[in-house]
Structure 1
Amino acid sequence: MSRNLPLLVAALAWLLAVAPAAAGTLDRHAIPSPILGQSIDVRVYRPANAAGPLPVVYLLHGYGGGAEDWTGGGDAQATAEAVFAAPDAVPMLLVMPGVGNSWYVESEKYGAWSSALVQDLIPAIDRLYETRTDRSQRFVAGLSMGGYGALRLATHYPALFRAAAAFSPAVFEDVASAADFPEFQLRFFADAFGEPFEAARFNRANVFAPLKAIPPELAVDFYIMTGDHDALGLWDGALKFFRAARGAGHAVELRVRDGDHEWRLWREELAPALHWFAGLSRSADRR
């Protein structure tokens, strides 16, 4: 038996080396929202064996999507488990709310979604899970309409979010009238900015003007990715936001990828964005 011990030890070491990382949990919640008068459908991914309070990433879906988009087409759970399995990883809680086609703003048609997310959802998540509740450990990311939502939450609520990542964001400069948009884009807005579209309402909700009003102590870091062949032409707004954020003194990462407005790009960008958030988390802890 003793002669076989080295072989047994070696075999055990090999099994541990090739064993897959433990799977995290994916929880489903209906978070009550007094502001909306309804529940918010949410998926929450929690990494396996994560000790202590976790930083939080709010991961937002696009137009026509819902709470399961990122764990479905986005393959977010598998991506997160691969990222968080690294020895130097910073495990994070991923929170994925379903907001319909609300554009993450306040509207008569969909309700006060912006307020509901910051006043109802965030406190509920902090009660349900052991989270890092300081601003330096809270992040937001999203694709397309959710990319706009991520930038909007970060620019309108910089005291709550340290950084935002936007993949193919549906972001546009302020406009003078509905005529500044093609008809297909007005249909995508789905009356979230008034029925009919109200330019003044859109501009109040938009992300460009708030960049200059954010105080230096609440500076937000941004990660922007766009496809160079985006069929909706959203690369244009992404580049304009990049220039505007840099001009306002914010740190910005820009990635222009070969591709369209597609899940392939968004899936592939999630891991780099999580690594980027981790770097910001570590930097905050070293201060």
Structure 2
Amino acid sequence: MIARLCLLLVLLTAFPAWSGTVEERSIPSPILGKPIDIRVYVPDEATGPLPVVYLLHGYGGGAHDWTGGGEAEATADAVFAAPDAVPMLLVMPGVGNSWYVDSEKYGPWERTLLDDLIPAIDRLYPTRSQRGQRFVAGLSMGGYGALRLAAHHPDRFRAAAAFSPAVFEDVTSAADFPDFQLKFFAGAFGEPFDPALFNRANAFAPLTAIPKDLPVDFYVMTGDHDGLGLWDGALRFFRAARGAGHAVELRVRDGDHEWRLWREELAPALRWFGTLSLSGR
């Protein structure tokens, strides 16, 4: 805690003052049939249209996670205070334990995010609505969501950052997973677990089909002591994406499946998104 406060103090004193406002909203969703609870970080000092980062929570979390344990507001204030920074809108939806997919149990969350939430954000805020100015990031279950949304929908997202992502290659049966992981899936891929549903949704298969004129870059971070063993899937995804010809950043950190890593990794990921935004692709 002391080290984080010292780092934040250094950042805030090194650059001009900057502040953002966090708004709470409830967005109507005709597709889902109920409102979407979101938090939105709006950089107060910015002028003109903004790139957008969709920041996804993990299993058991919600729209408040990234501004709570993730300290996203303070991190964004510090990052965007740098003279060469690209201020961005951060949108944090609450999706329950849906795994960011359409499912019988939780509802059509993938379609809701793509066809209700994104258009609503572009209407309500001064955004740069081109796919080259839209990014997605998340932790654990949200890291899975970020990778798969970008891989399946390169026409919507320029890049994805995943922190300790719960990402896996295709499986042949439920026995390919330990029991604790099946409990985390919580019916999002069928009850009982349906390997075919899972494989259709995963982030690996689309990597070789992403069009060359719609490049998607990836940023993957994992803790080397991840107690859920998720470092394995992160490294597999890195190799698969690199093998498919995509630009991929890999960070292996000393740590477990924990907020400390995710908090610390948000700042470099936001700066990375900013660099891609400036490239204009």
Tell me the TM-score normalized by structure 2: 0.94
| CA apart distance, 1:19 | 9.4
2:155 matched to 1:159? yes
2:111 matched to 1:115? yes
2:79 matched to 1:83? yes
2:17 matched to 1:21? yes
Whose radius of gyration is greater, 1 or 2?
1
Using the alignment, how far apart are the partners of 1:216 and 1:22 within structure 2?
Answer: 38
Partner secondary structure for residue 90 of structure 1: coil
Deviations 1:162-189 (A, max 9, x none): 0000000000000000010000000000
Deviations 1:229-263 (A, max 9, x none): 00000000000000000011100000000000000
Partner secondary structure for residue 28 of structure 2: strand
Unaligned runs of 5+ in 1: 1-16
Matches within 5 A, 1:169-180: 169-180=165-176
* Aligned twin of 1:10: none
Deviations 1:139-179 (A, max 9, x none): 00000000000001101110000000000000000000001
* Aligned twin of 2:36: 40
Using the alignment, how far apart are the partners of 1:145 and 1:34 within structure 2?
Answer: 25
| CA apart distance, 1:23 | 2.1
Using the alignment, how far apart are the partners of 1:23 and 1:278 within structure 2?
Answer: 18
* Aligned twin of 2:274: 278
Partner secondary structure for residue 263 of structure 2: helix
Provide the alpha-carbon RMSD of the alignment: 1.2
Partner secondary structure for residue 218 of structure 1: coil
Using the alignment, how far apart are the partners of 2:198 and 2:140 within structure 1?
Answer: 17
Partner secondary structure for residue 57 of structure 1: strand
Using the alignment, how far apart are the partners of 2:14 and 2:221 within structure 1?
Answer: 34
Using the alignment, how far apart are the partners of 2:123 and 2:263 within structure 1?
Answer: 29
2:224 matched to 1:228? yes
Using the alignment, how far apart are the partners of 1:54 and 1:21 within structure 2?
Answer: 19
2:101 matched to 1:105? yes
* Aligned twin of 2:258: 262
1:60 corresponds, among 56, 61, 64, to 56
| CA apart distance, 1:52 | 0.1
* Aligned twin of 1:182: 178
1:51 corresponds, among 47, 53, 77, to 47
* Aligned twin of 1:195: 191
Using the alignment, how far apart are the partners of 2:17 and 2:52 within structure 1?
Answer: 21
* Aligned twin of 2:6: none
Matches within 5 A, 1:115-134: 115-134=111-130
Partner secondary structure for residue 211 of structure 1: helix
Identity rate, percent: 79
Using the alignment, how far apart are the partners of 1:73 and 1:37 within structure 2?
Answer: 29
Using the alignment, how far apart are the partners of 1:149 and 1:258 within structure 2?
Answer: 23
Runs of 4+ in 1 over 3 A off after TM superposition: 17-20
* Aligned twin of 2:132: 136
Deviations 1:8-44 (A, max 9, x none): xxxxxxxxx8897242111111001111100000000
* Aligned twin of 1:93: 89
Using the alignment, how far apart are the partners of 2:108 and 2:96 within structure 1?
Answer: 12
Cα separation, partners in 2 of 1:179 and 1:19, compared to 1, 3 Å: closer
Letter in 1 for 2:230: L
Cα separation, partners in 2 of 1:167 and 1:18, compared to 1, 3 Å: closer
* Aligned twin of 1:252: 248
* Aligned twin of 2:239: 243
Using the alignment, how far apart are the partners of 1:18 and 1:70 within structure 2?
Answer: 24
Using the alignment, how far apart are the partners of 1:34 and 1:95 within structure 2?
Answer: 19
